[in-house]
Amino acid sequence: MDLKYEISQLLKVAIPELTPEEIMDILEVPAKVEMGDYAFPCFRLAKIYRKAPPLIAQELVGKIPASSLLREITAVGGYINFFMNPVPFVTHVLSSVLREKGQYGSSTLGEGKNIVIDYSAPNIAKPFHIGHLRSTVIGNSLYQIHQFLGYHCVGINHLGDWGTQFGKLIVAYKKWGTKEEVESKGIKELIRIYVKFHEEAEKNPDLDEEAREWFTKMEQGNEEALALWDWFKVISLKEFDRVYDLLDLSFDSYAGESFYNDKMDPIIEELREKGLLERSEGAEIIDLSEENMPPCLITKKDGSTLYATRDITAAIYRKNTYNFNKCIYVTALEQNLHFAQWFAVIKKMGYEWYNELIHIPFGMVSMETGKLSTRKGNVVLLEEILNEAIEKTMEIIEDKNPNLENKEQVAKEVGIGAVIFNDLYNNRIKDVIFSWDKVLNFDGETGPYIQYTHARACSVLKRADVEIKDSQDLSFDLLVDEASIQVCKLLEKFPVVIQEAAEKLEPSLISRHIMDIAQAFNKFYHDCPILTSEEKTKEIRLALVYAVQTVLSTGLHLLGIKAPTQM
């Protein structure tokens, strides 16, 4: 039962001119607790009733039906204030969590619906750097959230394993690389020669033409070109797998750009048959002037394909294969135009499902030292960041709790969790600056703070050494202090926040909400004695501890973060 929803249903009786949805949009949470748990401003009704808002509020209070969830409804100025009845409210919230346990907040909302999520997608033969973290962790969290709501999810790692950059790498390898160096140094050697190519190409533009020729050879099936490409790919995938193992995530499909090589010709032919292709300086384009966008380039003058060609082909393949209700693309904000263009092409092709394609943009990530650039060699490998986070966390553990059991595993879970949470805490569209001091802070609004709070709850339950009773045996009337009620209010909203995160495709809603829960719980922990209190009070407070531990564990899971039981 959602208190906000309940109030909207009550108000609907008194205000038939508004729908419950409109009422819910208008309802506010007052700035001060003494003004109620929710407030309904009546200013919008002044035009309807042709009366002053304070008078409207007074009249409506008398028309609102009673509810066991509310102890008082008052009119103050132009507002109707609703005060929750704590005992039935707390009873409902805690009973729900105790009954549903780890499934609290889940639903069958997505039953029978398929969601395809395209995320991570690092480029083969390029570093898997800190900049790739955002797509990886945002996409993984969206996968977990939708799955928790009953959707059938398909996670696709659309590897960047095709394109002109491989022509550049082949040229670079032939001019400045050796087999021995690449075998021994792996991706770092590939980065070195790739950076060298761009440095030399600035002085000698002919190198770019040479690179294009090698890519064309790849597309035409040249054995030497494809053998080098495949070798570069094997080296890269080893690197990527180590990172995915650290992050403890996997994908349902690794079908990258090269997977669609033999599937593009029929799509290009379909575009031609539908009269959408035009010649322009030897290239084939689709005019998008009616959509106020530049043309979408489908083939270059040498006949080679582009990102858009492969993305259009991939979307049609995915619709035919997975029959998705949504196909979500998690990529950087700077790719907005690219997606807008080829989404428009899908629409022009006559596919009604074009509006099921959704681009989820996010801001850039940078280190405190500045912006990342593969071409200039200014990159920080993600694997190095994750390993450093583990090492730094281990140093903190050695300093504060050297006798901790399984400290290597805890250091891994906390260090990596800190990196992920730092990325998912702010709205995804915002740029992220990576700072060690901020990321690994156990006191600030960080992942370690929430994990520590979860471990604290686990510790209390372990020390109590009692089985949490069924809710019918608990004395809920002993849990009406302000700190306890505040925790329950946040627990009650948890299922709504999960659904909102799915609707807005915004994991930060969950990360911020579980931060609020952790902070409220720590206040409760300090204000309300648990293990030393009278037996009935101890039982109900332990039930609240269990509920918080359960919800924090679920929330962290939905973000792709582990929940250690001790720290």
Per-residue confidence (pLDDT) for residue 374, from 0 to 100: 47
- Tell which of 367, 398, 424 closes a domain: 367
- Tell which of 344, 367, 390 closes a domain: 367
- Tell which of 60, 84, 108 closes a domain: 84
Same domain? 265 vs 157: yes
C-alpha to C-alpha distance for 275 and 273, rounded to whole angstroms: 5
CA-to-CA separations, 42 to 15, 47, 459, in angstroms, rounded: 11, 10, 48
**132 a catalytic residue:** yes
- For residue 20, the enclosing domain spans 3-84
Structure tokens at 292: 């106020």
User: What is the band of 473 on the pLDDT scale with cuts at 50, 70, 90?
Assistant: confident
Same domain? 32 vs 180: no
Same domain? 80 vs 125: no
Same domain? 168 vs 263: yes
Angle at 281 between CA 276 and CA 285, to 5 degrees: 20
R_g of the chain computed on alpha carbons: 28
Per-residue confidence (pLDDT) for residue 385, from 0 to 100: 86
Which amino acid does the sequence have at 282? G
* Partners of residue 70 on adjacent β-strands: 84
Lowest mean pLDDT among 76-85, 185-194, 376-385: 376-385
Lowest mean pLDDT among 8-17, 144-153, 293-302, 429-438: 429-438
Same domain? 80 vs 123: no
User: What is the band of 1 on the pLDDT scale with cuts at 50, 70, 90?
Assistant: low
Helix count and strand count (H, E) for the chain: 21, 12
CATH code of 59's domain: 3.30.1360.70
Structure tokens at 376: 């200039």
Structure tokens at 109: 């909302």
Same domain? 201 vs 344: yes
Measure the CA dihedral 175/179/183/186, to 10°. 10
Per-residue confidence (pLDDT) for residue 530, from 0 to 100: 96
CATH code of 541's domain: 1.10.730.10
C-alpha to C-alpha distance for 128 and 103, rounded to whole angstroms: 34
32-88 tens-digit pLDDT: 888 999 999 999 999 999 999 999 999 999 999 999 889 999 999 999 999 999 999
Choosing from 126, 326, 407, 412, the catalytic residue is 126
Per-residue confidence (pLDDT) for residue 367, from 0 to 100: 67
CA-closest candidate to residue 163, choices 52, 300, 25? 300
Max distance between CA atoms of the chain, in angstroms, equals 85
In a domain, 128, yes or no: yes
C-alpha to C-alpha distance for 133 and 137, rounded to whole angstroms: 6
C-alpha to C-alpha distance for 3 and 493, rounded to whole angstroms: 9
Q: Which residue has the tokens 């969950």?
A: 510
Which runs of E-coded beta strand occur in 131-219? 152-156
In a domain, 334, yes or no: yes
Structural domain total, the chain: 3
C-alpha to C-alpha distance for 275 and 345, rounded to whole angstroms: 12
CATH code of 299's domain: 3.40.50.620
Stretch 254-272: mean pLDDT, rounded? Answer: 94
Same domain? 234 vs 325: yes
**126 a catalytic residue:** yes
Tell whether the model's pLDDT for residue 370 goes beyond 60: no
Choosing from 32, 51, 101, 132, the catalytic residue is 132
| Structure-model confidence comparison of residues 117 and 123, the more confident one | 117
Q: Residue 474 contacts by C-beta under 8 Å, 6 or more apart in sequence?
A: 94, 539, 540, 543
Tell whether the model's pLDDT for residue 369 goes beyond 90: no
In a domain, 96, yes or no: no
Same domain? 25 vs 143: no
Tell whether the model's pLDDT for residue 562 goes beyond 90: yes
Q: Residue 275 contacts by C-beta under 8 Å, 6 or more apart in sequence?
A: none
Same domain? 318 vs 241: yes
End-to-end, the C-alpha distance of the chain in Å comes to 35
Q: Which residue has the tokens 């945002």?
A: 138
Q: Residue 475 contacts by C-beta under 8 Å, 6 or more apart in sequence?
A: 536, 537, 539, 540
Same domain? 77 vs 139: no
Tell whether the model's pLDDT for residue 372 goes beyond 50: no
Q: What share of the chain is helix, strand, coil (3-state, %, to 5)?
A: 60, 10, 30
In a domain, 297, yes or no: yes
* Partners of residue 28 on adjacent β-strands: 39
C-alpha to C-alpha distance for 424 and 444, rounded to whole angstroms: 15
Burial of 209 (0-12, 13-18, 19+ CB in 10 A): exposed
In a domain, 244, yes or no: yes
Per-residue confidence (pLDDT) for residue 265, from 0 to 100: 94
CA-closest candidate to residue 424, choices 395, 442, 405, 450? 450
Per-residue confidence (pLDDT) for residue 379, from 0 to 100: 63
Choosing from 32, 63, 129, 274, the catalytic residue is 129
C-alpha to C-alpha distance for 450 and 559, rounded to whole angstroms: 12
In a domain, 133, yes or no: yes
Same domain? 267 vs 185: yes
In a domain, 488, yes or no: yes
In a domain, 566, yes or no: no
**DSSP assignment string, 20-32:** HHHHHHH-B--SS
- Half-sphere exposure at residue 211, Cβ-oriented, CA atoms within 13 angstroms: 21
Stretch 387-400: mean pLDDT, rounded? Answer: 92
204-226 tens-digit pLDDT: 999 999 999 999 899 889 999 99
Per-residue confidence (pLDDT) for residue 368, from 0 to 100: 66
Q: pTM for the complete prediction?
A: 0.90
136-151 tens-digit pLDDT: 999 999 999 999 999 9
Same domain? 256 vs 337: yes
